Amino acid sequence: MKHDDRAHDVADSGGEAQAESTFAALAAPLVDEALSHNASIHADASPESLHQLRVALRRLRSLWWAYGPLLDRQENTRQRALYRFLADAAGKTRDWDILLELLAGEKNETNENGEEGATCVTPACLREARERALAASRETLVNADIRNVLHGALASTSKELNTAPERHALQKFAAKRVRAAEKSLRKRMRTASRAKRADYDLLHDVRKAGKKVRYLIELFGPVLDDVGQDQTLKRLKKLQQCFGELNDVTASIALLRENTSLFADETEAHAALVFLKERRKACRREAVRLLREA
C-alpha cells in the first residue's frame, strides 16, 4: 500500500513545516525498519534482530502517542495497543534470549573465580524452550499480517492528519509534546525516589517514561531547540541502560520461576535463581542511586 509522501516537510511554498504533513516522513522509515527486522527473524532470528524489531515498534508507539492530540482518541489507542501487542510477540522470544545470556554470564563469573568444571553451556531444556517461543513469535507475527497492518496504519493516520481542518506548526507542536513527556518523566522520578523502599513497578514506570522522552527527542531532534539536547540524551541513555538491566533481570527471574520444572536438577534451578536475585539487588541499588542523583 502506497502513501502520499509529497510535501511532508513544508506546509506550502515558503511556508513553515506542519506537524500534520510531516507525520508520514517520520513514520515511514520506522515502518520500513520494523518490516526489515520482521523479515530478518523469519530468516535468522538472532537476539539482535528481535531486539531491534521491538525498538522500532516502540518508536512507532511513541510517535503515535506524540500525535495523539491531533488524532481520534479511540483509533489512536487501538493503534498503540496493536504496536504493543506486536512488540510483546517478539518480546516473548527476546525474554528467553536475555535469560540465557544472564545464565551464561553466571557461568563466566564462575570460570573467572577459577572453579573447575564450570562451562558456558546453558541447559538444553532452556534453549529448547527458546526455540518453542520463537516458533510462537513467528506464528503470531505472520498471522498478524504485520506488513499490511503497518502500511494500513500509516496510510489511514496520514489521511486523517492531512484532511484535518486545523494545522499546527511542527516546531511548536514537537516542543510541546516533548515537554509533556519530560513532565511525565519528572513526575515518575519524584514518585519513585520518594518511595520508602525500592519499588520495582515505580522504577519500571521511570524506565518507560524515559524511553518515550528519548525516542521523541530523537524523532523530532532536527526541529527542536538543540540547547542541552545532547546532554539530555546522554543522561537518558545512562538511566535507560541501568534501568534496562534491572528490568531484564527481573523479567528473567519471573520467567525462570515459571519454568523451573524444565530443569532435571532442582539444585541447578535454585542456583540460577539465587544468582539472578543477587544481580537484581545490585541493579536495583544502582537504579535508586542514579535516580536520587538525577
| Cell reading at 277 | 536475585
Average pLDDT, the chain: 86
Encode 30-49: b = buried (16+ Cβ within 10 Å), e = exposed: bbebbbebbebbeeebeeeb
Give me the mean pLDDT over the 7-36 stretch: 78
3-state secondary structure at position 6: coil
Kindly report the pTM of this predicted structure.
Answer: 0.84
- In DSSP terms, which residues pair with 18 in a beta bridge? 169
3-state secondary structure at position 155: helix
| Cell reading at 51 | 531486539
- List the domains of the chain with CATH numbers: 1-168 (no CATH), 169-294 (1.40.20.10)
Q: What is the pLDDT of residues 140-192, one digit of tens each?
A: 888 888 999 999 999 999 999 999 999 999 999 999 999 999 999 999 999 99
Rounded to an integer, what distance in angstroms lies between the CA atom of residue 98 and that of residue 248?
7
> Where is average pLDDT lowest: 105-119, 234-248, 274-288?
105-119
Q: Say which residues have a Cβ less than 8 Å from residue 40's Cβ, sequence separation at least 6.
A: 46, 49, 53
- Do 17 and 169 touch, CB atoms closer than 8 A? yes
The single-letter DSSP state of residue 11 is S
Instruction: Indicate the angle between helix axes 73-112 and 229-258, nearest 10 degrees.
Output: 70
Q: So what's the pLDDT on residue 283? A: 94
- Do 10 and 20 touch, CB atoms closer than 8 A? no
Which spans in 44-123 are helix H?
47-66, 73-112
Q: What percent of the chain has pLDDT over 90?
A: 59
Q: 17 pLDDT exceeds 70? A: yes
- Do 96 and 130 touch, CB atoms closer than 8 A? yes
In this predicted model, which residue has the larger pLDDT, 81 or 5? 81
